[in-house]
């Protein structure tokens, strides 16, 4: 009679699916977001244009449309053979990268320009200046909003259930269809699973914030 | 050390280290640098003075291309300043710069501030870099602060660390942009003394400052700027006792009688 114990394997699979989808999309979003932020502050005009086009495009496209574009568009472009999980990682990672980029860029804007000038004046290159001096100081301002963005990402993974990916959203749909269980109880357990994930993310980010605050 | 030639039109001597020729720069409609010709010989100490807004900082910053120029040429040790990229970075590492607002790396300790460029730019081993950093910090009198963060230091100490950071790169020339203007009066001398010592040791220096005492005792030449032009160049004793241009007379009367 208990939804959770009756379907524990399914819940576990869905939970792990959401965790993996969140984690891998987060890694992609952080790497891309940092790279695009670097583009946006680089001295090369072409990179700056590419960066702002990336942000404008992805930030203003509804995520569902992006999923459609990736799942229908990539195969049409000849990129066949990707399974739906990795397509979902692509869509979520690229989408979130646009927001991460902007969080990092606003962090960069809080670093006094004299810091980068001092770095350049001792002969550091653009990437050294960014990596050694600017980004570490930008991180302190950028970390809290990035935490919020990753929590939003965790919840956005539910959209993947509509695209043939096993995660918590798809578990909920399957169980709802299976009937026999109270729909509110299903909902409750699913919600608890999401809360575990989002609380873990916010806990990690609180730790990170404290760590950075101590290391001035 | 006051014997070095001050004639303005001395042809770029064999040991001319920094040569600016016909340098022009605009900020929008503002013509901040107008046909600047300036040659700095190896080992020479040049003090740049002039009213606020006359383009002294901009001049200083064009010498290591923190500001771009519109026309004219700048060479350092015979090499023209590259446009961008690695070449420019390499050349910049030979030109030390000390800022009015210190600009120490806020998230790095004093020791790391002085070590970073040696390791990342000069590719020195960390141990060797730290040894050199400690020697330099001792030399500017802040050896005891090595493990502190910049915010824990007084302004005078921070500026001395900034000088050590620049010296760690073994620069051919040092640029100082009003290095004591952000300091409380009691800290000005500790920084000036370090700079005096540097001048005595033969460092080539371009110093934007209003510290007349420093100019008189350490400078080989005073360059007076107004409205983006070099209006007058002279030996310090000549310039302060007998300025030729009206702009310089006017300026000196304002800063010497207050
Ligand atoms: N980044 C900038 N953009 C626009 N105008 C500037 C900039 N930097 C300086 N200026 C202007 O150029 C003039 C010269 O400035 P500056 O070189 O700082 O003079 P100084 O150091 O002699 O006081 C001033 O009028 C200043 O307002
Ligand atoms: Mg200035």
Which string of DSSP letters, residue by residue, matches A84-125?
HHHHHHHHHHHHHHHHHHHHHHHHHHHS-HHHHHHHHHTT--
Q: Write phi, then psi, for B16 (nearest 5 degrees).
A: -70, 125
pLDDT tens track for A88-146: 999 999 999 999 999 999 999 999 999 999 999 999 999 999 999 999 999 989 999 99
Contact between A168 and A197 under an 8 Å Cβ cutoff? The reply is no
pLDDT digits (tens, 9 = 90+) for A1-36: 587 888 888 888 999 999 999 999 999 999 999 999
pLDDT in tens, B56-72: 999 999 999 999 999 99
Collect all residues with Cβ–Cβ distance below 8 Å to B134 and sequence separation of at least 6.
Answer: B111, B143, B146
Q: Does B117 touch chain A (CB under 8 A)?
A: yes
Query: pLDDT-derived band of residue B14, with 50, 70 and 90 as boundaries?
Result: low
Q: Which long-range contacts (CB under 8 A, 24 or more apart) does B66-70 make?
A: B66/A117, B66/A120, B66/A121, B66/B97, B67/B25, B68/B25, B69/B23, B69/B24, B69/B25, B69/B33, B70/B24, B70/B25, B70/B26
- pLDDT tens-place string over residues A78-91: 777 788 899 999 99
Residues of A in contact with B94 (CB under 8 A): 123
d(CA A77, CA A73): 6
In eight-state DSSP terms, residue B233 is E
Nearest CA to ligand 1 atom 18: B57
Dig out the tokens for B182 from the structure. 């952000």
How large is the ipTM? 0.90
pLDDT of residue B5: 41
Quick: pLDDT tens for B22-41.
999 999 999 999 999 999 99
| A134 close to B (CB below 8 A) | no
Q: Which domains does chain A have, with CATH numbers?
A: 3-212 (1.10.3720.10)
CA distances from A64 to A58, A92, A159, B43, B100 (A): 12, 10, 7, 67, 52
B32 alpha carbon – ligand 1 mean position (Å): 7
Please provide the average confidence, as pLDDT, over all residues in chain B: 91
The pLDDT mean for chain A works out to 91
Query: Is the CB of residue B105 less than 8 Å from the CB of residue A118?
Result: yes
Candidates A152, A213, A157, A141; CA nearest to A190 is A157
Q: If contacts are CB pairs under 8 Å, which of residues 149-168 in chain B contact chain A? A: 149, 151, 162, 165-166, 168
pLDDT tens by residue, B116-139:
999 999 999 999 999 999 999 999
- Contact list in A for residue B85 (CB cut-off 8 A) is 125
Would the pLDDT of A180 be above 90?
no
- In the structure, what pLDDT confidence band is assigned to residue A164 with cuts at 50, 70 and 90? confident
Q: Is there an atom of ligand 1 within 6 Å of B57 CB? A: yes
Assigned token pair, B199:
């001048």
Q: Is the pLDDT of residue A62 over 70?
A: yes
- Averaged over A138-156, what is the pLDDT? 95
Exposed, middle or buried, B142 (CB in 10 Å: 0-12/13-18/19+)? Answer: buried
Taking the CA of B179 as reference, the closest ligand is 2
pLDDT of residue A63: 94
Read off the pLDDT band of B245 (50, 70, 90).
Answer: very high
Distance CA A129, CA B116 (A): 11
Q: Model confidence at B2, in pLDDT bands (50, 70, 90)?
A: very low
Q: Is the pLDDT of residue B6 over 50?
A: no
- Distances in Å between the Cα of A20 and the Cα atoms of A74, A145, A166, A193 are 22, 22, 11, 13
CA of B62 to the centre of ligand 1 (A): 12
Tracing tokens 């987060």 back to the chain, one arrives at: A26
Closest listed residue to residue B106, CA positions, set B137, B148, B150, B145:
B150
Output Rg (C-alpha) for chain A, integer angstroms. 20
């Amino acid at each position: 009679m208990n939804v959770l114990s009756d379907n524990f394997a399914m819940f576990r699979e869905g939970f792990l699916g959401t965790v993996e989808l969140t984690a891998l999309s987060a890694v992609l979003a952080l790497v891309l977001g940092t790279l695009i932020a670097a583009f946006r502050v680089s001295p090369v005009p072409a990179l700056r244009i590419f960066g702002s086009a990336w942000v404008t495009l992805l930030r203003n496209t509804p995520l569902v449309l992006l999923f459609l574009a990736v799942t229908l568009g990539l195969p049409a472009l000849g990129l066949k053979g990707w399974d739906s999980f990795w397509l979902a990682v692509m869509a979520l990672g690229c989408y979130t990268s646009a927001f991460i980029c902007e969080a990092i860029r606003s962090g960069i804007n809080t670093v006094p320009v004299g810091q980068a000038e001092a770095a350049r004046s001792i002969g550091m290159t653009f990437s050294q200046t960014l990596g050694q001096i600017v980004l570490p100081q930008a991180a302190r301002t950028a970390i809290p909003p990035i935490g919020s963005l990753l929590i939003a990402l965790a919840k956005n993974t539910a959209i993947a259930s509509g695209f043939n990916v096993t995660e918590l959203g798809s578990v909920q749909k399957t169980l709802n269809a299976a009937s026999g269980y109270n729909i509110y109880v299903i909902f409750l357990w699913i919600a608890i699973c999401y809360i575990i994930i989002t609380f873990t993310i916010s806990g990690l980010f609180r730790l990170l914030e404290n760590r950075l605050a101590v290391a001035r | 050390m006051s014997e070095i030639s001050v004639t303005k039109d001395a042809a770029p001597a064999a040991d001319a280290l920094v040569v600016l020729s016909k340098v022009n720069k605009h900020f929008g409609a503002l013509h901040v640098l107008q046909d600047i010709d300036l040659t700095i010989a190896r080992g020479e100490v040049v003090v740049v003075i002039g009213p606020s807004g006359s383009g002294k900082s901009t001049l200083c910053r064009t010498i290591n291309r923190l500001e771009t120029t519109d026309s004219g040429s700048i060479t350092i040790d015979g090499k023209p300043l590259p446009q961008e990229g690695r070449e420019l970075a390499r050349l910049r590492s030979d030109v030390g710069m000390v800022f009015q607002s210190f600009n120490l790396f806020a998230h790095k300790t004093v020791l790391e501030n002085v070590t970073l460029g040696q390791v990342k730019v000069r590719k020195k081993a960390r141990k060797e870099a730290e040894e050199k950093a400690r020697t330099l910090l001792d030399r500017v009198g802040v050896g005891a602060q090595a493990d502190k963060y910049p915010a824990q230091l007084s302004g005078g100490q921070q500026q001395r660390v900034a000088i050590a950071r620049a010296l760690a790169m073994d620069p051919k020339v040092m640029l100082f942009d009003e290095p004591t203007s952000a300091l409380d009066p009691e800290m000005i001398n500790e920084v000036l003394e370090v700079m005096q010592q540097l001048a005595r040791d033969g460092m080539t220096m371009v110093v934007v400052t209003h510290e007349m005492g420093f100019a008189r005792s350490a400078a080989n030449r005073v360059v007076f700027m107004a409205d983006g032009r070099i209006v007058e160049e002279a030996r310090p004793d000549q310039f302060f006792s007998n300025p030729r241009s009206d702009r310089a007379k006017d300026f000196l009367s304002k800063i010497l009688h207050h």
